[in-house]
Amino acid sequence: MSNDKKNLRLEFRAKRKAVTAEQRDITSQALVQQICTQDWFKHKHSFALYCAMPAEIDTQPLITALWQHQKRCYLPRITADDVLVFAQYNPDTALIPNRFGIPEPVAAAPHCAISDLDIIFIPLVAFDEEGHRLGMGAGYYDKTLAGLRIQKTRSLLVGLAYELQKASHIPQDAWDINLDMVVTEQAVHIYS
């Protein structure tokens, strides 16, 4: 990991951690409003999300909105090969903590091929004007989504973030996956 990325990760994790619980709740609801009014939301059916870590924007309000709009929702599971598979998530789906303590569907939950997902919402530590994403550093999403780069029609990759997570520049490695857009409480930043 480059020192630039390491330093940016520390800086933006601290910014994200400083957000109060009240600000987090307000931002989570604002994201739902931003997303549910977009044409790409209205015309898509299969959505991958994730269970948020404590400092991240709470994704449960968005998951609930997906269910209310009769959308199919999928959550990532980490496989033994350290890639993600996306398992169906309904209100009655059992979740168990993975090795990082993040809830994920049980292994028996039906999976969806990545190519069948319309929208993949992706967590991030920081993003920039070019649609570059700085993740937590393990590369799970980059490894999992690497095959999507070459497809002409592919899932829309959408980062979810606080506006304060916007950086002026994020250094890129060859394996980094760019985002199509980032949705914050203030704007929908479109890159493609």
Residue with tokens 């924007």: 57
In this predicted structure, the answer to whether residue 152 has a pLDDT above a threshold of 80 is: no
DSSP state of 165: G
Domains observed in the chain: 3-190 (3.40.50.10420)
Convert the pLDDT of each residue in 78-131 to its tens digit: 988 888 999 999 999 999 999 889 999 998 899 999 989 999 999 999 999 999
Paired with 160 in beta bridges are 183
Convert the pLDDT of each residue in 30-45 to its tens digit: 999 999 999 999 999 9
Q: Where are the beta strands (DSSP E) in 118-164?
A: 119-122, 126-127, 133-134, 156-160
Rounded to 5°, the CA angle 181-182-184 comes to 150
pLDDT at site 139: 77
Q: Is 110 exposed, middle or buried (0-12, 13-18, 19+ CB in 10 A)?
A: exposed
3-state secondary structure of 97: strand
Query: In 3D, which of 68, 83, 28, 19 has the Cα closest to residue 51?
Result: 28
